[in-house]
Amino acid sequence: MMALLQRVAEASVTVEGRTIGRTGPGLLVLACAMRGDDETTAEKLAGRIARLRIFRDEAGKMNLSISDTGGGVLVVSQFTLAADTSSGNRPGFSAAAAPQDGQRLYEHLAQALRGHGLPVETGEFGADMQVALVNDGPVTIWLDVT
């Protein structure tokens, strides 16, 4: 599984004009399950996200995790993270998990993050979503646990 983490002041996801998920200060996690991933992979990714020290401490250094700060997490599925752009002008997505596996692992990731004591909201798997965010820093981190 892979994820693009963005440290945010706020973020939200909207489907058909209705906000379905949001967070204040915390993380926006764009997540993609890959072929061959399983629940253990999702749990490993959740642990990495929960412990990653990318928030400022009292000295202004990136030394705190989302678990330390009490911030929220907005998890949005994004299979396009699996894009293969190695040839041609049209990306391929064959490395992404099949939709039913992707949805199961996306939901498992969100639940595993909750298991770390984090407040988690989500987007809607497979929906046409509009994601808004105010990136804090900016801090954007790529995680791949496949």
> pLDDT value at position 132?
98
For residue 63, is it within any domain?
A: yes
The CATH number that applies at residue 118 is: 3.50.80.10
79 catalytic residue (yes or no): yes
Active site annotation includes 78:
yes
Q: What are phi and psi of 36, to 5 degrees?
A: 95, -10
Band the pLDDT of 51: cuts 50, 70, 90.
very high
| Helix residue spans in 33-135 (DSSP H) | 39-51, 66-69, 99-115
- Could you tell me if residue 69 is inside a domain? yes
Expressed as residue numbers, the domain containing 102 is 2-137
- pTM score over 0.85: yes
Per the annotation, the verdict on 140 as an active-site residue is no
Among 80, 93, 130, 140, the active-site one is 80
Q: Are 25 and 10 in contact (CB under 8 A)?
A: yes
Domains of the chain: total: 1
Tens of pLDDT, residues 2-36: 999 999 999 999 999 999 999 999 999 999 999 99
Identify whether 117 is part of a domain: yes
Indicate the pLDDT class of residue 146, thresholds 50, 70 and 90. confident
Could you tell me if residue 80 is inside a domain? yes
Vertex 84 angle, CA 27 and 51, to 5°: 25
Question: What value does the mean pLDDT of the chain take?
Answer: 97
| Cα dist from 44 to 21, 109, 133, whole Å | 23, 9, 26
Q: Which of 23, 55, 79, 122 is catalytic?
A: 79
Q: How many other CB atoms are found less than 10 A from the CB of residue 137?
A: 13
